[in-house]
Amino acid sequence: MSVHLSNPNLPSASGDEREFPMSEQNFRELQQFARELTGISLSDQKQNMIYGRLARRIRALGLRDFDQYCALLGQHDSPETREFINAITTNLTAFFRENHHFEYLKNTWFPELLRSKEKDRRIRMWSAGCSTGEEPYSLAMVVKSIPALQNWDVKIIATDLDSTVLEKAQLGEYAVDRCVNIPPQYQKFVDTGVVRADVRGLVTFKQLNLLHPWPIKGPFDVIFCRNVVIYFDAPTQIKLFDRYADMLTPEGRLFIGHSENLHKISDRFVSLGRTIYRKIR
């Protein structure tokens, strides 16, 4: 992402209305920290959001301003790094979000795998950017709803950069109002906000920075990476989708977010429509 320090459209982050002074240079430093630590490209339009999230950290640490906070982040092996990463990552998610993806799995891809993998009876899935766990648990509910898969070796790996949301995900406990939109045929897998134990047992949660080496083994039949790459620049996206292709089985399926596409990003997939892609090489 190009940086123009004299950008006239950059919202002011200083002034009496702010609890902590935040200069334009502070924001540039925070953008640089975000790129280096996570690969996330924070646009200028994100400045107010970042101020709000990090002001809480400055308050909690008893610091005076963003100069002190940036200096703290710049220290080698700063313990604040983890809190910074957790603060800037966005964790919007829901059970069965973009439900057509789960319907495709149940009605099309899983039936194909039941035929093509009848010998080894093994299915592997990866939820990359799993947030608080609704996505991988939705995958697990679909698996549990298919009788023919019950004696198969099915495992779901769920990863996220944010350690705080992973702790919540592992519990499998949600406010009841977050479960009301689960389709009726899957409601039996959640009891007053608690995901059933046999569903949780299909999912393994791990912390993972997508830009670092991946200590997980493929190949995967399914990879969900939805509403994650929108925070990365194009060169990072190109590398990331190439790595995803390497981790997928031949013909493996990749699911991305509704606002994302692979045009000019990767030629290793063919679109099946509705942000579903098949690996072709």
pLDDT of residue 191: 97
Looking at the structure of the chain, the number of domains it has is: 2
Residues 61 and 81 in one domain: yes
Are 124 and 161 spatial neighbours (Cβ–Cβ below 8 Å)? no
Residue 42 lies in domain: 24-88
126 shares a domain with 209: yes
Report the catalytic residues: 53, 160
Quote the strand ranges of the chain, DSSP E.
122-128, 153-160, 190-191, 194-195, 203-207, 220-225, 248-256, 269-273, 276-279
Give yes or no: residues 81 and 113 share one domain: no
Q: 27 and 47 in contact (C-beta within 8 Å)?
A: yes
Residue 14 lies in a domain: no
Residue 87, pLDDT above cutoff 60:
yes
What DSSP assignment string belongs to 222-255?
EEEE-S-GGGS-HHHHHHHHHHHHHHEEEEEEEE
Q: Tell me: the pLDDT tens digits for 100-146?
A: 999 999 999 999 999 999 999 999 999 999 999 999 999 999 999 99
The stretch 72-94 carries a mean pLDDT of 87
pLDDT of residue 5: 31
**Which of the residue ranges 6-10, 38-42, 184-188, 257-261 would you say has the lowest mean pLDDT?**
6-10
pLDDT of residue 249: 98
**What share of the chain has pLDDT > 70, as a percent?**
93
Residues 109 and 156 in one domain: yes
Identity of residue 84:
F
Question: Same domain for 106 and 83?
Answer: no
DSSP 8-state code for residue 173: B
Query: Could you read off the pLDDT of 154-165 as tens digits, one per residue?
Result: 999 999 999 999
pLDDT tens string 11-52? 444 444 689 989 999 999 999 999 888 888 888 988 999 999
Q: What is the CATH number of the domain that holds 48?
A: 1.10.155.10
Strand 269-273 and strand 122-128: the pairing is unpaired
* Predicted TM-score (pTM) above 0.85: no
Q: Does 170 reside within a domain?
A: yes
Contact 229, 260 (CB under 8 A): yes
